[in-house]
Amino acid sequence: GRDTGSCAALVKELSLIREEEVYRIDHYLGKELVMNLLVLRFANVAFQAIWNRQYIKSVQVIFKEDFGIAARGGYFDQYGIIRDVMQNHLLQVMALVAMEQPLSFEAEHIRAEKLKVLHSCAPVTLNDLVVGQYTAAGDKLGYLEEASITNKESRTETFAAAVLHVHNPRWDGVPFVLKAGKALTDRKAEVRIQFHRVPGVVSALKNCASNELVVRLQPEETIYWKVQNKVPGLGFEVQQMRMDLMYASRYEKKLPEAYERLLLEVLAGNQSNFVSAVELEASWQIFTPILHQLEEQEVVPEAYTYGSRGP
């Protein structure tokens, strides 16, 4: 769908089929590192203890591509990056990061906890949103210059950054920043969890950077933990280092493709990694008001150069 209303209409059309027989695929839920989020969180006591507002300063869920829309303009210009990536893929990943521990890893229990997170999020407002559109750089065409874009005055966003607020005791005051964009510096999707600085630290350590946990979803699937470490030697110098779990070097087996895994789960009748109708409705309720406002007010996206970090 395009918003809450169109989503409800599509769900109604499918109502002749029982909900437990409907498998709504969001391929991000089939990615190895996304599926590992629940294990990382709930099987490691160290993370369980610090996974809250007392220790976490901010959470970012990031999607970046280093290429433009190419031949997809006919589709993309009708939807934009918020509908294409943010409202579905990134919001689902965010819900897995923020949810409470489910009673089990059965579909009904995982979905129930994700739904609580979505219902705790207020709708996005213009004050918490930046949208952009890429322009030409060198031999790279700008969005409006792409051959597949017929509306040369299009205000469709190719970049968006939105701050979501989860209003519950665990996350009150912690900004969840969703970023998605095309024609940026590089290609990757990742979750970055930044922690507060150490309180009352001694003067020799006052310039140390904050700890950060990064889960790289693609490419080069990796989990790494940024920690402070003394540089070896006779002097005293502290440097931030990475503690890595690189899947390519640690595991010899090839990781299954997301769609491959999800199609196998359809055959097995397992709905744990599929999106329910009520989740869809709750997701659209977060973004529909701002999407309508962008269109009705004809908000002009900020220009950013192809290959840059965005507006």
- Cα 267 to its chain centre, rounded Å, is 27
The pLDDT of residue 301 = 96
Residue 219: asked if its preceding bond is cis (omega within 30°), the reply is yes
Contact 18, 205 (CB under 8 A): no
Low-confidence ranges of the chain (pLDDT < 50): none
The pLDDT of residue 20 = 87
CA distances to 68, 157, 246 from 249, rounded to whole Å, are 31, 37, 6
Tell me, yes or no, if 119 is annotated catalytic: no
The pLDDT of residue 215 = 93
The pLDDT of residue 127 = 95
Q: What is the pLDDT of residues 263-296, one digit of tens each?
A: 999 999 999 999 999 999 999 999 999 999 999 9
**Cα–Cα–Cα angle for 177, 46, 164, rounded to 5 degrees:** 15
Catalytic residue among 27, 89, 109, 196: 89
Q: What is the pLDDT of residues 97-153, one digit of tens each?
A: 999 999 999 999 999 999 999 999 999 999 999 999 999 998 999 999 998 999 999
The pLDDT of residue 246 = 67
CA distance 259 to 128: 33
The pLDDT of residue 48 = 87
